[in-house]
Chains A and B, each alone.
Chain A
């Protein structure tokens, strides 16, 4: 596994000290890590499982598993990277259970028309999201991203919503860098095309 974070002696990541205290038995230090990352873990779990109850269970189980294995945590990778890996595996496990044994994997090869020129040429209104209420918009965004395969959703969320690097995303998902790049491009283009249905500028006379 590649080292994703090279830190000098004076620029230690703040999580390193919290992890060390937690390993030494300080539960409060671990609680700080929970507060710091629970919302992101919940978001990732929701995007993969598409089920609220499962996502809540993933948050709980991922942190418990991390605590249990904290002494095995390799300090050469970020705590958050390691935690997301655990959460992604837990989420996939739950997704498989719901789909009763149907194979679900982040690296399943999905045939899409990668690299082809998008069909929908329509431009969008200047601020298309303003045509919808907050609730309607959230519903549209959820429905749109739910149409993507889990492996695309999670790459898009880690890279574009959480703002993580391609290398970090690859390490979290156990994918190669080119695989992350390919999924990201396809996820972005597919979301764009699907959102066009709601956001494209209306022609005269169109309802």
Chain B
């Protein structure tokens, strides 16, 4: 398996949707390729860091203001 072939299956590998046979081939490639090991680990970390940090918080005061505006318009039939 080449690095390009490995990369084409990277998402399936991370999402756990590859067949057992393909997974074995991917793992065999990883065993001998530091480059793809780094790519896999740092891509996983990329997702993790975005998932655990809320970049756009909706402040409570803004939430309340929006809720009131929406509900008031709904009550008036929009």
Contacts and interface: CB of A to CB of B under 8 A. Distances in A.
A56 to B, nearest CB: 6
Interface residues of B, number: 35
Interface of B is mostly: helix
Given A64-B74, A115-B8, A188-B43, A39 B50 contact: no
Given A27-B75, A43-B58, A199-B45, 11 more contacts: A34-B67, A34-B70, A35-B67, A38-B58, A60-B69, A137-B53, A138-B55, A142-B55, A185-B10, A188-B11, A195-B46
A134 B22 CA distance: 39
B25 interface: no
Interface stretch (A82-90, A96-104, A120-128): A120-128
A27 B71 contact: yes
Given A39-B58, A42-B58, A117-B35, A64 B73 contact: yes
B24 interface: no
A117 B4 contact: yes
Nearest to A57: B66
A122 to B, nearest CB: 7
A192 B55 CA distance: 17
B20 interface: no
Contacts of A156: 50
Contact of A38 (B41, B43, B66): B66
Contacts of A121: 34-35, 38
Interface of A: 27, 30-31, 34-35, 38-39, 42-43, 46-47, 55-56, 59-60, 63-64, 67-68, 115-118, 121-124, 128-129, 134, 137-138, 141-142, 145, 156, 160-161, 163, 181, 184-185, 188-189, 191-192, 195-196, 199
Contacts of B66: 38, 56, 59-60
A163 B43 CA distance: 16
B38 to A, nearest CB: 5
A31 B53 contact: no
A61 to B, nearest CB: 9
B7 A67 contact: no
Contacts of A117: 3-4, 7, 35
A38 B63 contact: yes
A131 B34 CA distance: 24
Contacts of A68: 78
Contacts of B47: 160, 188
A64 B38 contact: no
